[in-house]
Structures are given as C-alpha cells and as structure tokens.
Amino acid sequence: MTGEWFGCQHYNIKPDIVILGKALGNGFPISAVLLAKKVASQLEENEFIYVQSHQNDPLGCKIAREVISIYKESNIIENVKILEEFVSLKLKPLEKLDSVQEVRGKGLMWAVTLIEPINCKTVSQLMLDKNILVGITEKDNLIRLYPPLTINEKEISLLARALKEVLSE
C-alpha cells in the first residue's frame, strides 16, 4: 500500500486499464479489471466476450464491496500516508551503514538495497530469527518490507531496530 488507492495516483497517471487482486478480497480469491469508458466501449462495439468459472460471482463481489467499505471506514489509506513519514524517519538512517546502498519506499512499501558481501538471504534468516519476516529479491540483493496495513509506530520502530542490528553485525 503506497498511501493512495492506486500507485499511479502518485504520478497523476490515468491508466486505461487497472487490474486488481489480492487485497480486494482480503484473503478471498477475487480480482477485477477496471476499464476507462473508451476501452469498455471499444470492447462492447467489437462484441468482446470473456468467460471464466467465477465471473460475476455475487459472493466475491459482496466481499470486495465490504473490504472497500472497511478500508474507507478505517481510514487505512490515510493512515498509510501518515505512517510513511515515520517509516522514512526510522529506515532512512540505515543508509549510513556500510552494508546499505539505498533505502527507498512509498507508503508502507519499502526496499533496502544491500552491498556485498552482505547477502539478503542471510539477512532474511537473521530477521526471521528475531521473529520478523521480510521479503527478498536475491538478484538485486535487496530486502522488501511490506508490513501489514495495521502496523503501528511501535512495531515500525521494532522492525527498524532489528534490521539495524542485523545489518550492523
């Protein structure tokens, strides 16, 4: 979650097609395709037909509507915007470590690019030993931090402190 409903909103981009999944169902398998009017019209004019086994599933639609309602009622997106500054405050100082090339992120989606000989797979295991699960991209030697949207400042501080300890070892 970047702090906007869609990442493209950070850059004032208005895409013709947006694909949704995962978070839309909050665990229930559902996806959606959002189309600009001009694209939808072209598909209709050309009698485009698409069929799948769970298309227009009323249960999935009900779940998606409820998830969106909960996001709105709980101010989840606004909270992510607020937390972004705190996450930056806690993670950006890691760039001063010899083992860190770059810390970058938006909202609650962050990445820490490591400098060899520090290896992201090793860091991931050391973080797991501290009961913190992080993602990795071995090809780029980076740690991916995508915490739950319910994370709070105390937990962010704990994450940052643990990561600093591991990267300083």
Write down all domains in the chain, each with its CATH number in brackets: 7-74 (no CATH), 77-168 (3.90.1150.10)
Q: Is the pLDDT of residue 108 over 80?
A: yes
Residue 78 confidence (pLDDT): 94
pLDDT at 51 over 80: no
According to DSSP, the β-strands at 100-106 and 135-137 are unpaired
- Say what the pTM is: 0.82
Secondary structure class of 103 (helix, strand, coil): strand
Residue 102: the pLDDT is 98
Q: Is the pLDDT of residue 123 over 80?
A: yes
Average pLDDT for 40-47? 92
In tens, the pLDDT along 54-91 reads 677 889 899 999 999 999 999 999 999 999 999 999 99
Q: Does 52 have pLDDT greater than 80?
A: no
More reliable by pLDDT, 136 or 30: 136
Q: Which residues are within 8 A (CB) of 127 and not within 5 positions of it... i.e. 6 or more apart?
A: 133, 134, 143, 162, 163, 166
